[in-house]
């Protein structure tokens, strides 16, 4: 009896072991290293089924910050890179890790803040002036601080002011070292201003009394690009399948799929391949 019980337990464990073998041979998939904004906004859930239906290729998305996505792809851990930091993407190609970079789509960054607007920046549109004013007021500002595309863009904008955010870090300037969603959760809880891409903000579910305080500066343009990881450098890259995905994304059909994605009746990404 006892032995039978333990045999049963062992059989159960063996079953679990057997089940953990590789999933059924399914080679028609690619891995796309991408960012949290494209994933969390629901864009991929909208466009990938369309692509899969047409080609039979399953796209597996690893959504991390742009910095980490680029490092993963540079290690060969992915077939396609789909991120938003043009200078870093161009360096990725120049280093021989990618074949060629294509523009895909854009949206924009906004600065969100509490309804009370402690720095008095609501409605302004000159982002450099806004940042300078936030710094002067020493109003809390939550930064990603994680080398992501959004973080890099934010640092470029601070670079247009004479504020030294590194010196202010730990005071009013707070680096969360986390993804966009985590930074929004943290920042809204501490009453800080936060720069976020519009897509993540619109689909974010924990806004509290926060509103978009600043938008519309052309400097807050946020361009996304797509790159096939270089199969000459990384032989495991599924160049053919990956190229099909890249071609589709920048084709009229892929661009139309991107344009048709809406949350709360708002278009989140604006296709601009080949423009």
Partner 1 sequence: MFFFRKTGENAPLDGFGSILAEAVGLILAWDPDLIEIIALSLRVTLTAVAIACLIGLPLGAAVGAFRFPGRTVVTVVLNALMGLPPVVVGLMVYLMLSASGPLGPLQLLYTPTAMVIAQTILVTPIVAALTKQVVEDLNREYAEQFASMGVGPLDRVGALLWDARYSLLTVALAGFGRAVAEVGAVIIVGGNINHVTRVMTTTIALETSKGNLQLALALGVVLLTIALIVNAAVMAIRASAVRAAYA
Q: Which residues bind partner 1 (CB under 8 A)?
A: 1-2, 5-6, 8-9, 12-14, 16-17, 19-23, 31, 36, 40, 45, 60-63, 72, 75-77, 179-182, 184-185, 203-208, 234, 236
Strands 173-175 and 141-143: parallel
Per the structure block, which two tokens stand in for 143? 């930064």
Of 6 and 270, nearer to partner 1 (C-beta) is 6
**Cβ-contact 106, 199 below 8 angstroms:** no
- Burial per residue of 1-11, b for 16 or more beta-carbon CB atoms within 10 angstroms, e otherwise: eeeeeeeeeee
Of 131 and 202, nearer to partner 1 (C-beta) is 202
Q: How far is the CB of 28 from partner 1 (least distance, A)?
A: 13
Per the structure block, which two tokens stand in for 12? 């159960």
**Nearest residue to 33 via CA among 87, 106, 89:** 89
Of 19 and 167, nearer to partner 1 (C-beta) is 19
Q: How far is the CB of 250 from partner 1 (least distance, A)?
A: 23
Of 12 and 159, nearer to partner 1 (C-beta) is 12
Q: How far is the CB of 139 from partner 1 (least distance, A)?
A: 22
- Rounded distance, CA 271 to CA 275, Å? 9
- Rounded distance, CA 67 to CA 231, Å? 21
Q: How far is the CB of 66 from partner 1 (least distance, A)?
A: 15
Question: In Å, how far from its chain's centre is CA 214?
Answer: 21
Of 86 and 91, nearer to partner 1 (C-beta) is 91
Q: How far is the CB of 34 from partner 1 (least distance, A)?
A: 11
**Nearest residue to 131 via CA among 91, 161, 92:** 161
Q: How far is the CB of 140 from partner 1 (least distance, A)?
A: 19
Per the structure block, which two tokens stand in for 95? 């280093």
The number of CA neighbours under 13 Å toward the Cβ of 111 is: 33
Q: How far is the CB of 166 from partner 1 (least distance, A)?
A: 25
Of 67 and 217, nearer to partner 1 (C-beta) is 67
Of 9 and 190, nearer to partner 1 (C-beta) is 9
The C-alpha torsion from 70 through 168 and 180 to 177, rounded to 10°, is 60
């Amino acid at each position: 009896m006892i032995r039978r019980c333990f045999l049963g337990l062992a059989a159960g464990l063996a079953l679990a072991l057997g089940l953990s073998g590789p999933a059924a041979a399914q080679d028609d998939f690619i891995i796309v290293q991408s960012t949290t904004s494209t994933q969390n906004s629901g864009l991929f859930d909208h466009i990938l089924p369309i692509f899969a239906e047409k080609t039979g290729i399953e796209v597996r998305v690893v959504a991390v910050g742009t910095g980490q996505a680029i490092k993963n792809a540079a290690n060969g851990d992915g077939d396609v890179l789909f991120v938003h930091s043009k200078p870093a993407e161009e360096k990725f190609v120049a280093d021989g890790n990618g074949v060629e970079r294509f523009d895909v789509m854009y949206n924009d960054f906004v600065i969100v803040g509490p309804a009370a607007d402690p720095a008095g920046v609501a409605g302004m549109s000159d982002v450099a002036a806004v940042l300078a004013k936030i710094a002067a007021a020493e109003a809390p500002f939550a930064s990603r601080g994680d080398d992501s595309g959004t973080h890099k863009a934010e640092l470029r904008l601070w670079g247009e002011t004479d504020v030294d955010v590194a010196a202010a870090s730990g005071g009013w300037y707070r680096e969360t070292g986390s993804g966009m969603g985590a930074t929004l959760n943290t920042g809204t809880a501490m009453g800080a201003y936060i720069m976020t891409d519009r897509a993540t903000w619109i689909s974010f579910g924990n806004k509290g009394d926060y509103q978009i305080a600043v938008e519309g500066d052309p400097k807050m343009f946020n361009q996304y690009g797509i790159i096939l990881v270089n199969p000459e450098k990384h032989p495991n890259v599924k160049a053919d399948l990956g190229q099909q995905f890249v071609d589709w994304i920048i084709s009229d059909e892929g661009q139309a799929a991107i344009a048709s994605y809406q949350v709360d009746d708002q278009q989140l990404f604006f296709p601009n391949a080949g423009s």
